[in-house]
Amino acid sequence: MNRTIMFSLALVLLAPLGLTVAADEAPERPKPRPEPKPEEKSAEVELPWTAEDIRKGWGKGVSFLLDVESGTDKGWLRWEAENITDKGFDESEIECKNDAPPRFGKARQRTWDKHLSNLKQELAGAVKSKGEVEVPYGKLACDIYTITKKEGTQKVALSAKVPGMVVMMEVEGEGGEKRQHEKFSLRSIDPPVCQAPWNFDKIAENFKAGTKTVYAGKSSEGDARIEYVVDASNITGMTFTATESQGGSEPKKAEPATTTWDAYLRYFVPPRYDTKTSEEKLKTPAGEFECVVFAHVTESNGARASQKVWLAKNEPGLMVRCEVEHQFGEQKMFYNMELTEFVKGK
Protein backbone atom coordinates (compact mmCIF):
# COMPACT_ATOMS: atom_id res chain seq x y z
CA MET A 1 0.00 0.00 0.00
CA ASN A 2 1.30 3.44 -0.88
CA ARG A 3 1.82 6.04 1.79
CA THR A 4 1.43 9.70 0.92
CA ILE A 5 2.91 12.90 2.25
CA MET A 6 0.22 15.43 1.38
CA PHE A 7 0.53 19.16 1.84
CA SER A 8 -2.80 20.37 0.53
CA LEU A 9 -1.76 23.52 -1.25
CA ALA A 10 -5.40 24.15 -1.95
CA LEU A 11 -5.43 24.99 1.73
CA VAL A 12 -2.43 27.26 1.29
CA LEU A 13 -3.95 28.84 -1.82
CA LEU A 14 -2.71 26.38 -4.41
CA ALA A 15 -3.87 23.14 -6.02
CA PRO A 16 -3.39 19.88 -4.03
CA LEU A 17 0.12 18.45 -4.15
CA GLY A 18 0.90 14.83 -3.29
CA LEU A 19 4.14 12.88 -2.98
CA THR A 20 3.50 9.14 -3.15
CA VAL A 21 5.99 6.71 -1.63
CA ALA A 22 6.14 2.96 -2.14
CA ALA A 23 6.98 1.96 1.42
CA ASP A 24 7.93 -1.65 0.66
CA GLU A 25 10.50 -0.59 -1.95
CA ALA A 26 12.03 2.36 -0.15
CA PRO A 27 15.65 1.90 1.00
CA GLU A 28 16.73 2.92 4.46
CA ARG A 29 16.33 6.68 4.69
CA PRO A 30 19.58 8.56 5.28
CA LYS A 31 19.90 10.64 8.40
CA PRO A 32 18.42 14.11 7.87
CA ARG A 33 20.67 17.13 7.62
CA PRO A 34 20.88 19.20 10.82
CA GLU A 35 18.08 21.75 11.06
CA PRO A 36 18.26 25.21 12.69
CA LYS A 37 17.56 25.19 16.39
CA PRO A 38 13.78 25.16 16.74
CA GLU A 39 12.06 28.12 18.29
CA GLU A 40 8.79 26.36 18.98
CA LYS A 41 6.91 23.11 18.46
CA SER A 42 3.25 23.33 19.21
CA ALA A 43 -0.10 22.09 17.96
CA GLU A 44 -1.25 25.71 17.92
CA VAL A 45 0.42 27.24 14.87
CA GLU A 46 1.16 30.95 14.87
CA LEU A 47 1.07 32.42 11.35
CA PRO A 48 2.86 35.65 10.36
CA TRP A 49 -0.43 37.28 9.32
CA THR A 50 -4.12 37.40 10.18
CA ALA A 51 -7.15 37.28 7.90
CA GLU A 52 -7.38 41.07 8.14
CA ASP A 53 -3.72 41.42 7.11
CA ILE A 54 -4.39 39.26 4.06
CA ARG A 55 -7.57 41.11 3.12
CA LYS A 56 -5.81 44.48 3.23
CA GLY A 57 -2.73 43.16 1.42
CA TRP A 58 -4.73 41.67 -1.44
CA GLY A 59 -6.80 44.80 -2.06
CA LYS A 60 -9.23 44.32 -4.95
CA GLY A 61 -7.46 41.23 -6.22
CA VAL A 62 -4.08 39.51 -6.38
CA SER A 63 -2.29 37.01 -8.63
CA PHE A 64 0.69 34.99 -7.36
CA LEU A 65 3.03 33.30 -9.85
CA LEU A 66 5.06 30.33 -8.59
CA ASP A 67 7.75 28.23 -10.28
CA VAL A 68 7.03 24.52 -9.88
CA GLU A 69 9.47 21.59 -9.90
CA SER A 70 8.31 17.98 -9.55
CA GLY A 71 10.97 15.39 -10.29
CA THR A 72 12.07 16.05 -13.88
CA ASP A 73 8.96 18.12 -14.63
CA LYS A 74 9.06 21.92 -14.53
CA GLY A 75 6.41 24.54 -15.00
CA TRP A 76 4.52 27.32 -13.28
CA LEU A 77 1.31 27.90 -11.39
CA ARG A 78 -0.58 31.17 -11.13
CA TRP A 79 -3.00 31.37 -8.21
CA GLU A 80 -5.51 34.24 -8.16
CA ALA A 81 -7.91 35.72 -5.61
CA GLU A 82 -10.62 38.28 -6.36
CA ASN A 83 -14.06 39.43 -5.18
CA ILE A 84 -12.44 39.91 -1.79
CA THR A 85 -14.80 40.68 1.11
CA ASP A 86 -14.77 40.58 4.90
CA LYS A 87 -16.04 36.99 4.73
CA GLY A 88 -13.73 35.53 2.08
CA PHE A 89 -12.78 35.52 -1.59
CA ASP A 90 -12.98 33.64 -4.91
CA GLU A 91 -9.92 31.57 -5.84
CA SER A 92 -8.79 30.06 -9.16
CA GLU A 93 -5.56 28.86 -10.73
CA ILE A 94 -3.76 28.48 -14.05
CA GLU A 95 -1.28 25.60 -14.28
CA CYS A 96 1.37 24.98 -16.95
CA LYS A 97 3.59 21.88 -17.01
CA ASN A 98 6.63 21.57 -19.26
CA ASP A 99 5.62 22.42 -22.86
CA ALA A 100 1.92 21.60 -22.47
CA PRO A 101 -0.80 24.26 -22.89
CA PRO A 102 -1.90 25.81 -19.58
CA ARG A 103 -4.89 24.42 -17.70
CA PHE A 104 -7.44 26.89 -16.33
CA GLY A 105 -9.26 25.93 -13.14
CA LYS A 106 -12.76 27.03 -12.19
CA ALA A 107 -13.30 29.75 -9.60
CA ARG A 108 -14.29 28.60 -6.10
CA GLN A 109 -15.46 30.50 -3.03
CA ARG A 110 -13.41 30.31 0.15
CA THR A 111 -13.87 31.84 3.60
CA TRP A 112 -11.05 33.36 5.65
CA ASP A 113 -11.88 31.03 8.55
CA LYS A 114 -11.58 27.95 6.35
CA HIS A 115 -8.41 29.18 4.73
CA LEU A 116 -6.54 29.91 7.96
CA SER A 117 -7.86 27.00 10.04
CA ASN A 118 -6.93 24.46 7.35
CA LEU A 119 -3.49 25.97 6.98
CA LYS A 120 -2.89 25.80 10.73
CA GLN A 121 -4.06 22.18 10.73
CA GLU A 122 -1.65 21.24 7.96
CA LEU A 123 1.25 22.87 9.82
CA ALA A 124 0.35 21.44 13.23
CA GLY A 125 3.33 19.79 14.90
CA ALA A 126 5.85 21.50 12.64
CA VAL A 127 9.16 22.70 13.98
CA LYS A 128 9.30 26.46 13.45
CA SER A 129 12.48 28.44 12.85
CA LYS A 130 13.36 31.80 11.34
CA GLY A 131 15.63 32.56 8.41
CA GLU A 132 16.05 34.27 5.04
CA VAL A 133 14.66 32.50 2.03
CA GLU A 134 15.71 33.49 -1.50
CA VAL A 135 13.26 32.87 -4.34
CA PRO A 136 12.87 34.51 -7.78
CA TYR A 137 10.65 37.18 -6.16
CA GLY A 138 13.52 38.19 -3.85
CA LYS A 139 15.15 37.47 -0.50
CA LEU A 140 12.65 37.52 2.37
CA ALA A 141 12.74 37.04 6.13
CA CYS A 142 10.50 34.03 6.76
CA ASP A 143 9.03 31.74 9.36
CA ILE A 144 10.09 28.26 8.24
CA TYR A 145 7.92 25.30 9.23
CA THR A 146 9.52 21.84 9.00
CA ILE A 147 7.48 18.66 9.18
CA THR A 148 9.43 15.38 9.34
CA LYS A 149 7.72 12.04 8.81
CA LYS A 150 8.91 8.53 8.04
CA GLU A 151 8.15 9.10 4.36
CA GLY A 152 10.08 12.36 4.06
CA THR A 153 10.46 16.01 5.00
CA GLN A 154 8.35 19.01 4.11
CA LYS A 155 9.33 22.68 4.51
CA VAL A 156 7.04 25.67 4.19
CA ALA A 157 8.27 29.28 4.27
CA LEU A 158 5.83 32.11 5.09
CA SER A 159 6.67 35.81 5.26
CA ALA A 160 4.92 38.76 6.88
CA LYS A 161 5.69 40.72 3.68
CA VAL A 162 3.69 38.26 1.55
CA PRO A 163 0.36 37.88 3.35
CA GLY A 164 -1.66 34.77 2.57
CA MET A 165 0.77 32.98 0.25
CA VAL A 166 3.68 30.58 0.61
CA VAL A 167 7.08 32.01 -0.32
CA MET A 168 8.51 28.53 -0.77
CA MET A 169 7.31 24.97 -0.21
CA GLU A 170 9.57 21.96 -0.62
CA VAL A 171 8.91 18.24 -0.16
CA GLU A 172 11.56 15.52 -0.17
CA GLY A 173 10.88 11.80 0.33
CA GLU A 174 11.81 8.28 -0.72
CA GLY A 175 10.18 6.48 -3.66
CA GLY A 176 11.78 3.18 -4.62
CA GLU A 177 15.39 3.77 -5.64
CA LYS A 178 14.77 7.40 -6.51
CA ARG A 179 14.49 10.34 -4.18
CA GLN A 180 11.28 12.32 -4.70
CA HIS A 181 11.47 16.11 -4.79
CA GLU A 182 8.83 18.80 -5.32
CA LYS A 183 9.23 22.55 -4.88
CA PHE A 184 7.13 25.70 -5.24
CA SER A 185 8.93 29.09 -5.33
CA LEU A 186 7.28 32.53 -5.49
CA ARG A 187 8.25 34.45 -8.66
CA SER A 188 5.92 37.47 -8.82
CA ILE A 189 2.89 39.21 -7.31
CA ASP A 190 0.58 40.89 -9.84
CA PRO A 191 -3.04 41.96 -10.26
CA PRO A 192 -5.42 39.49 -11.96
CA VAL A 193 -5.78 40.64 -15.58
CA CYS A 194 -8.61 40.49 -18.11
CA GLN A 195 -8.97 37.37 -20.23
CA ALA A 196 -7.51 37.99 -23.70
CA PRO A 197 -9.64 36.78 -26.66
CA TRP A 198 -7.15 34.04 -27.60
CA ASN A 199 -5.41 30.99 -26.09
CA PHE A 200 -1.62 30.60 -25.88
CA ASP A 201 -1.53 27.96 -28.64
CA LYS A 202 -3.31 30.32 -31.05
CA ILE A 203 -0.81 33.10 -30.28
CA ALA A 204 2.09 30.72 -30.95
CA GLU A 205 0.56 29.78 -34.33
CA ASN A 206 0.10 33.44 -35.30
CA PHE A 207 3.42 34.77 -33.99
CA LYS A 208 5.83 32.48 -35.79
CA ALA A 209 9.49 33.36 -36.31
CA GLY A 210 9.78 36.38 -38.60
CA THR A 211 6.57 38.07 -37.43
CA LYS A 212 7.01 41.84 -37.24
CA THR A 213 4.83 44.43 -35.52
CA VAL A 214 5.52 48.16 -35.69
CA TYR A 215 3.86 50.83 -33.54
CA ALA A 216 4.03 54.62 -33.71
CA GLY A 217 2.58 57.36 -31.56
CA LYS A 218 3.29 60.01 -28.96
CA SER A 219 4.40 60.06 -25.34
CA SER A 220 5.27 62.62 -22.68
CA GLU A 221 8.79 62.62 -24.14
CA GLY A 222 7.73 63.19 -27.76
CA ASP A 223 7.11 61.04 -30.82
CA ALA A 224 7.77 57.34 -30.36
CA ARG A 225 8.24 54.29 -32.58
CA ILE A 226 8.87 50.69 -31.61
CA GLU A 227 9.37 47.59 -33.72
CA TYR A 228 9.21 43.98 -32.52
CA VAL A 229 10.54 41.03 -34.53
CA VAL A 230 9.86 37.46 -33.36
CA ASP A 231 13.03 35.35 -33.51
CA ALA A 232 11.45 32.09 -32.31
CA SER A 233 8.20 30.93 -30.70
CA ASN A 234 6.46 27.84 -29.33
CA ILE A 235 3.55 26.97 -27.05
CA THR A 236 5.30 28.43 -23.98
CA GLY A 237 6.36 31.83 -25.36
CA MET A 238 8.70 33.64 -27.72
CA THR A 239 12.12 35.20 -28.19
CA PHE A 240 11.96 38.65 -29.80
CA THR A 241 14.10 41.68 -30.63
CA ALA A 242 12.86 45.25 -30.06
CA THR A 243 14.07 48.43 -31.76
CA GLU A 244 12.84 51.69 -30.21
CA SER A 245 13.18 55.42 -30.79
CA GLN A 246 11.63 58.19 -28.72
CA GLY A 247 11.62 61.98 -28.84
CA GLY A 248 13.51 62.09 -32.13
CA SER A 249 16.42 59.98 -30.85
CA GLU A 250 18.27 57.44 -32.96
CA PRO A 251 16.67 53.95 -32.95
CA LYS A 252 18.12 51.64 -30.33
CA LYS A 253 18.11 47.90 -30.91
CA ALA A 254 17.90 45.84 -27.75
CA GLU A 255 19.36 42.39 -27.14
CA PRO A 256 16.99 39.49 -27.88
CA ALA A 257 14.65 38.79 -24.96
CA THR A 258 12.54 35.74 -24.07
CA THR A 259 9.10 35.87 -22.49
CA THR A 260 6.26 33.47 -21.75
CA TRP A 261 2.86 34.18 -23.30
CA ASP A 262 1.54 34.68 -19.78
CA ALA A 263 4.06 37.47 -19.16
CA TYR A 264 3.60 38.91 -22.68
CA LEU A 265 -0.14 39.39 -22.20
CA ARG A 266 0.31 40.93 -18.76
CA TYR A 267 2.50 43.60 -20.32
CA PHE A 268 -0.52 45.30 -21.93
CA VAL A 269 -3.75 43.66 -20.65
CA PRO A 270 -5.23 45.66 -17.70
CA PRO A 271 -6.46 44.32 -14.34
CA ARG A 272 -9.89 42.69 -14.21
CA TYR A 273 -11.17 44.96 -11.47
CA ASP A 274 -12.31 48.49 -12.42
CA THR A 275 -12.21 47.54 -16.13
CA LYS A 276 -14.98 47.89 -18.71
CA THR A 277 -15.08 45.62 -21.78
CA SER A 278 -16.53 46.49 -25.19
CA GLU A 279 -16.03 45.76 -28.90
CA GLU A 280 -15.06 48.13 -31.71
CA LYS A 281 -13.94 48.08 -35.34
CA LEU A 282 -10.68 50.03 -35.55
CA LYS A 283 -9.04 51.36 -38.71
CA THR A 284 -5.23 51.76 -38.58
CA PRO A 285 -2.36 52.22 -41.06
CA ALA A 286 -1.87 48.44 -40.80
CA GLY A 287 -5.49 47.68 -41.73
CA GLU A 288 -8.93 47.41 -40.17
CA PHE A 289 -9.48 45.11 -37.18
CA GLU A 290 -12.41 43.85 -35.13
CA CYS A 291 -11.27 44.47 -31.56
CA VAL A 292 -12.03 43.65 -27.96
CA VAL A 293 -11.51 46.85 -25.95
CA PHE A 294 -10.50 46.99 -22.27
CA ALA A 295 -10.76 50.36 -20.47
CA HIS A 296 -9.32 50.52 -16.95
CA VAL A 297 -9.43 53.52 -14.60
CA THR A 298 -8.31 53.82 -10.97
CA GLU A 299 -8.14 56.82 -8.63
CA SER A 300 -6.43 56.89 -5.25
CA ASN A 301 -4.86 59.52 -2.98
CA GLY A 302 -5.08 62.25 -5.60
CA ALA A 303 -3.61 60.11 -8.37
CA ARG A 304 -5.45 58.89 -11.44
CA ALA A 305 -4.35 56.15 -13.83
CA SER A 306 -6.09 55.02 -16.99
CA GLN A 307 -5.30 52.32 -19.53
CA LYS A 308 -7.20 51.45 -22.70
CA VAL A 309 -6.17 48.70 -25.12
CA TRP A 310 -7.58 47.34 -28.37
CA LEU A 311 -6.87 43.64 -29.10
CA ALA A 312 -7.54 42.13 -32.54
CA LYS A 313 -10.14 39.38 -32.13
CA ASN A 314 -9.03 37.46 -35.23
CA GLU A 315 -5.26 37.99 -34.96
CA PRO A 316 -4.13 36.11 -31.82
CA GLY A 317 -1.52 38.01 -29.81
CA LEU A 318 -1.94 41.30 -31.68
CA MET A 319 -2.42 44.55 -29.77
CA VAL A 320 -3.76 47.19 -32.19
CA ARG A 321 -3.73 50.32 -30.02
CA CYS A 322 -2.98 51.38 -26.46
CA GLU A 323 -3.56 54.60 -24.50
CA VAL A 324 -1.93 54.93 -21.08
CA GLU A 325 -2.10 57.96 -18.80
CA HIS A 326 -0.93 58.67 -15.24
CA GLN A 327 -1.71 61.94 -13.45
CA PHE A 328 -0.71 63.08 -9.97
CA GLY A 329 -1.53 66.69 -9.20
CA GLU A 330 -0.11 68.83 -12.00
CA GLN A 331 2.18 66.08 -13.23
CA LYS A 332 0.94 64.07 -16.19
CA MET A 333 2.54 61.26 -18.16
CA PHE A 334 1.03 59.54 -21.19
CA TYR A 335 1.91 56.96 -23.83
CA ASN A 336 -0.29 56.38 -26.91
CA MET A 337 0.69 53.90 -29.59
CA GLU A 338 -1.03 52.47 -32.68
CA LEU A 339 -0.17 49.59 -35.01
CA THR A 340 1.32 50.82 -38.31
CA GLU A 341 2.66 47.54 -39.75
CA PHE A 342 1.97 43.84 -39.19
CA VAL A 343 3.92 41.20 -41.13
CA LYS A 344 3.37 37.52 -40.36
CA GLY A 345 6.24 35.07 -40.15
CA LYS A 346 6.43 31.77 -41.99
pLDDT over 70 (residue 43)? no
Average pLDDT, the chain: 86
What would the pLDDT profile of 232-278 be if each residue is shown by its tens digit? 999 889 999 999 998 778 899 999 999 999 999 999 999 999 999 99
**Which amino acid is residue 346, in one-letter code?**
K
Domains and CATH numbers, the chain: 2-190 (2.40.360), 200-343 (2.50.20)
Poorest-pLDDT segment among 8-22, 44-58, 73-87, 163-177: 8-22
Give 52's contacts (C-beta < 8 A, 6+ positions apart).
none
The pLDDT tens digits for 65-96 are 999 998 888 999 999 999 999 999 999 999 98
pLDDT in tens, 114-155: 999 988 988 988 999 999 999 999 999 999 999 988 778 999
Confidence of residue 177 (pLDDT cuts 50, 70, 90): low
- pLDDT at residue 139 in the model: 97
- What does pTM read for this prediction? 0.81
- Average pLDDT for residues 291-298, to the nearest whole number? 96
